[in-house]
Chain A
Amino acid sequence: MSMECVVQGIIETQHVEALEILLQGLCGVQRERLRVHELCFKSGPNLGVVSSEVRLLCDLDQPEPTWTVKHVGGPMRGAGADQISVMVRTMIESKVSKNALRMFYALGYKLDHELLKVGFAFHFQRTAHISVSVSSVNKMPKVHAVDEAVPVTPGMQIVDVTAPATPENYSEVAAAVSSFCEFLAPLVHLSKPFISTGVVPTAAAAAASLMSDGGGTTL
C-alpha cells in the first residue's frame, strides 16, 4: 500500500521570491517549473456503491503533455494520527497515456472541478523524498480552457509539502517532513490540509531579511 505525508500553507505572492531563495538554500537542488492541469472527477450518481473520486494530472511543462492518475484516500484517523502534525493518507499514482481523460468520461465519471497550478517545485532527499511546491491556483472560465485560467486568490499562493510513505515508515517520513517545515516557519506556516492557519505575521520581516542579503542570513 502506498501512502503520503502532506502539509499545506499559504503565502502572499510578494513573499514567494524570498521563499524561493530560502528553499534553494535548504534543498540544494535546482528548482523545477510547475505547470499542472489538475482535473478532479467524481463518479456519476448511479456508479458505485459509494461515490469515488479520482484526479487526472496533466503536466503541461513537458514538450509533450504527460498524464498521471492519482487516487487519494481519507486521512489516517485516531489518537496516533492526532499526535502527528502532518496528514498521512493513502495515495496511489499511475502514469497513463493521454486517452485516460476520454476513458474516465466513458466509464461514467464526471468532471467535478479543474485547476491549473503554476509555480515551481523542489524535489530532494532528506531522510524521506520530499517535494515542496509553491504555486498559484487558477480556475478556468470554460471547461478545459487552460489558456484562459485566472488566479482563484490573486495575491496568495499555496505551498504544498509532500513525501511518499509506506505503512512501515510513515512515522519517520512524517517526522522528516515536520522538521523540514520548521525551517520554513518564518515565511509560511504549514499544517494539515483543510486546517488553515493563515499567513505568518512576521513573513514580511523574514522576507526582507532574505532578499537583502541573497539568503545568507540564518533565520
Chain B
Amino acid sequence: MPVKWLLHWQPNQGSTFSSQILNEVTQSIESLNGVKEGTWKATLNYYKPMLQDQANQAEFPREFVGISLLEEPDKYYFVIRSQRIVVEADSSIQMIMESLQSYKCKLSFYFEGLEYQLGDFRLRVGKVVPTHAETIRGVVMEVEYLPISSMGMAKKLMEEFLEIWQEAMSKRSLPGKFVNKELNFEKFGLGDNYTPQHTAVGYAFFMANLMAAIQAGRG
C-alpha cells in the first residue's frame, strides 16, 4: 500500500489548540487545488487491565491500544508501544477481548474528517475527538504518496511535500505547525514496505504525543 506519513500538530510555546486550525487546514488544501473525495474515520481504543489487586498494576502494560482503520474494515490492530508489539487481527478479535473480560476499553477516540486528492498525494485531515464528548482535542493529517510503497524511496518526496505544505500553512499565521515524527518501525518488526500495521503504530505514537501535550498544557 502507499507510503503514509502522519503529521502531528506542534503548537507554538504557550499556545493552546483551537478548532479554528482545522478550518484553516482544509482551506489550505483547497487553495492548493486539492479535490475533496469524501470523509474518513479511524478509531483508537485504550484498554485497561481488570485487576483484582491494583497494587500489581506495574506488571501489566500501561498502554495497550486497539485501532480500527477505514481502509481495512475487517481488521483490527493492537499496539503495545512499551514492548514494541503490533498485531494485526480479524475484527472478531474484539469479541474475543470482550469475552475474556481481562481487559476493558476505558477510553476511545475518533479521528474523522475529509479526504482530498492532490496530484499523486492523498491527504486526510481530521479532528481528534473522544467518543464520549464533543471537545476536539487535536488535529491529525495523513499524507499518502500513492505511487510508492517503499518508505525509503518515498522519503525525499514526502519531505519536499511537507516543506510546501508548511509554507502554505505559514501564510495563515497559525500558532503552530505540522511536523512529521520519524518512527523506528524496525523495532516493531516492520519492514520498509508500508502496511496498515505501520499506520496502527503511527496512531499509537500520535495519541501518546497528543496526550502528553494535553497533560503539559494542563500542568
A–B complex contacts, Cβ < 8 Å, 20 sampled: A2-B92, A46-B52, A46-B53, A47-B49, A47-B50, A48-B49, A49-B101, A52-B102, A69-B93, A71-B99, A93-B92, A94-B93, A96-B87, A96-B90, A96-B93, A102-B83, A106-B83, A107-B60, A107-B80, A109-B102
**Chain B positions within 8 Å of A157 at CB level:** none
Beyond A46-B52, A52-B99, A52-B102, 6 additional contacts (C-beta under 8 Å) are: A44-B59, A69-B93, A71-B100, A96-B93, A97-B89, A108-B49
Among A47, A48, A100, A108, the residue within 8 A (CB) of B89 is: A100
Number of A-B contacts (CB under 8 A): 91
Query: A50 contacts B101, CB within 8 Å?
Result: yes
Total interface residues on A, CB under 8 Å, equals 28
B residues near A (Cβ < 8 Å) are 49-53, 56, 59-61, 64, 78, 80, 83, 85-93, 95-96, 99-103, 189, 197
**Chain B positions within 8 Å of A95 at CB level:** 89-90
Among A49, A94, A106, the residue within 8 A (CB) of B50 is: A49
Query: B89 contacts A43, CB within 8 Å?
Result: no
Q: CB-nearest residue of chain B relative to A97?
A: B88
Q: Given contacts A49-B50, A103-B78, is CB(A43)–CB(B88) below 8 Å?
A: no
A92 to chain B, nearest CB (A): 5
Q: Given contacts A52-B102, A99-B87, is CB(A108)–CB(B197) below 8 Å?
A: no
**Chain A positions within 8 Å of B61 at CB level:** 106-107
Query: A108 contacts B59, CB within 8 Å?
Result: yes
